[in-house]
Amino acid sequence: MIRLTDVHKAFGSNRVLRGVNLHVPKGTSMVIIGGSGTGKSVALKCVLGLVTPDAGLIEVDGKDVRSGDRDAFLARFGMLFQGGALFDSLPVWQNVAFRLMRGALKRPKAEAREIAIEKLRRVGLKPDVADKLPAELSGGMQKRVGLARAIAAEPEIIFFDEPTTGLDPIMAGVINELIREIVTEMGATAMTITHDMSSVRAIADNVAMLHEGVIKWTGPVAQMDASGDPYVDQFIHGRAEGPIEAVR
Amino acid sequence: MRLLAPIGRLGRATLALLAAIGRLAIFTAQTISHLVRPPFYPREFGNALMQIGYFSLPVVGLTALFTGGALALQIYAGGSRFSAEAVVPQIVAIGMVRELGPVLVGLMIAARVTSSIAAEIATMKVTEQIDALVTLSTHPMKYLTLPRVLAATLVMPLLVGVGDVIGIYGGFLVGTERLGFNATTYLKNTADFLEMRDIVSSLAKGAVFGFIAALMGCYYGMNSARGAMGVGRATKGSVVAAAILILAANFILTEAFFSA
């Protein structure tokens, strides 16, 4: 469904992506792992068109992501940002229903609010949260609101950028379970980037290891522990010694 | 080679300046082009009108009131050196309407509104809210920039008009309560001396200054670097750029309206 072929991206002299090749089949959950600054977020943003690759091809359903109606393309996606990226000036329910209150998917206000409250309930938040401002919520609750916003329009493809960063282990576990449940019940294709190994094991069908701008290894999560790849081994066991330099 | 180094630096600085002007010109053209391309966000426009217009009234009113009063005192003191104290109403009126009203309101809006727009949009950029807008099929220029620029352009003439009236009233208060002018004569002299051209130039300056103030806030916010330092730099840069451009535009508009 999503295919990246020889994707390159540099920021000045910093070559972040140096030929990424990756395939995410429809209805599967791909988790990209790798150290900080290895280009995981850039790869995700290249697919969405938030960052323009310097070279290479990115296809969704066999179509180049740069061609066709951009609004229709983006309407297929939902995204949970690392910090939530909730709009400070809007109450929670309007954040969740943002896409449902404007553009092609616009619904009457009452219906949009109803859907927002239903999605909030789906991620374990009570309806009384709906009228609060994002700043009034804890980090974990903001992540859940971000998750509710990502699934509000029932997208075919959902991206999760560091979904558990900054959360305590219990809340991280809750978010991981929610993501797994939602992706399964919606039948969505998911791409997640993380360096939290508990997230990887909870969310992934397939795993890809990104290092120095290229995919070093990819395969089913069940084979990850026995991958035999020194980069994957070092990363999943959190060893300081190995092919990945500890100081980058 | 060392002798050529300053020339190289000058060349790089010139290129950087031209690139910055080019980026600003493209940003301005994109903003204007969104005026005629739907979708539009009336709710955002309404919010911007309230924030830029209504909530700026106190600062505009106080600035104009004190400036008008101080202007009356200065003209009276200066005019008394050559027995021209009687021209206080006329000079206060022309000074406020032609120059001080639009310029001071423009600068106060640059301080209050430009900084606020730049800080808000820069923070949105740093916290990935701008990226989130894009993924939610909403163009940031349409949703953030156009409503603010349009609102500032439309509401600034009103603010300048209010500032002009309050400034003249400040002069009137000082003139009648402190300097002993007759209230009726003061008002008559003010009304008789002002021309339609003075008022039109004042309101036109307001529209241009409003456009500049909001545009600079949006431009610096959208192009902010990461982190708290990036937001701070964007905010500072936007206010400085807006203030300088407002003063430069004031000179050009004054030349255009009154050079003949």
Domain ranges for chain B, please list them. 1-37, 41-258
Question: What gap in Å lies between CA A188 and CA A158, rounded to an integer?
Answer: 7
A9: alpha, beta or left? (left if phi > 0; alpha if psi -120 to 50) = beta
pLDDT 10s digits, B196-244 = 999 999 999 999 999 999 999 999 999 999 899 999 999 999 999 999 9
Question: What gap in Å lies between CA B185 and CA B87, rounded to an integer?
Answer: 11
A79–B129 CB contact, under 8 Å: no
Note the pTM of the prediction, 2 decimals.
0.89
In contact, A165 and A192? CB cutoff 8 Å: no
B185 touches chain A (CB under 8 A): no
B128: alpha, beta or left? (left if phi > 0; alpha if psi -120 to 50) = left
Identify the burial level of B40 via C-beta atoms within 10 angstroms of its C-beta, where 0-12 means exposed, 13-18 middle and 19 or more buried. Answer: middle
B135 touches chain A (CB under 8 A): yes
The closest alpha carbon to B189, from B88, B81, B79, belongs to: B88
Q: Which of B124, B127, B136 sits opposite A99 (nearest CB)?
A: B136
Residues facing A3 on adjacent strands: A23, A59
The residue among A46, A89, A145, A154 with the most chain B CBs within 10 A of its CB, best to mutate, is: A89
In contact, A168 and A135? CB cutoff 8 Å: no
A48 pLDDT band (50/70/90 cuts)?
very high
Cα(first)–Cα(last) distance of chain A, in Å? 33
In contact, A167 and A143? CB cutoff 8 Å: yes
pLDDT 10s digits, A113-171 = 999 999 999 888 999 999 999 999 998 899 999 999 999 999 999 999 999 988 888 88
The residue whose two tokens read 């990246």 is A4
B33 touches chain A (CB under 8 A): no
Report the gap between the CA of A234 and the closest CA in chain B (Å): 31
The closest alpha carbon to B218, from B17, B16, B32, B13, belongs to: B32
Amino acid at B87: V
Question: What gap in Å lies between CA A81 and CA B136, rounded to an integer?
Answer: 12
For residue A153, the chain B residue with the least C-alpha distance is B136
For residue B138, the chain A residue with the least C-alpha distance is A103
Q: Coil, helix or strand for A2?
A: strand
The closest alpha carbon to A191, from A80, A35, A99, belongs to: A80
In contact, A67 and B148? CB cutoff 8 Å: no
Report the gap between the CA of B181 and the closest CA in chain A (Å): 50
For residue A85, the chain B residue with the least C-alpha distance is B129
ipTM of the complex as predicted: 0.89
Question: What gap in Å lies between CA A80 and CA A192, rounded to an integer?
Answer: 9
Q: Which of A48, A82, A102 sits opposite B138 (nearest CB)?
A: A102
pLDDT 10s digits, A61-100 = 999 999 888 888 999 999 999 889 999 999 999 999 999 9
Q: Which residues of chain B have pLDDT under 50?
A: none
The residue among B44, B50, B129, B135 with the most chain A CBs within 10 A of its CB, best to mutate, is: B135
In contact, A164 and A176? CB cutoff 8 Å: yes
Question: What gap in Å lies between CA A75 and CA A150, rounded to an integer?
Answer: 11
Give chain B positions within 8 Å (CB) of A71.
137
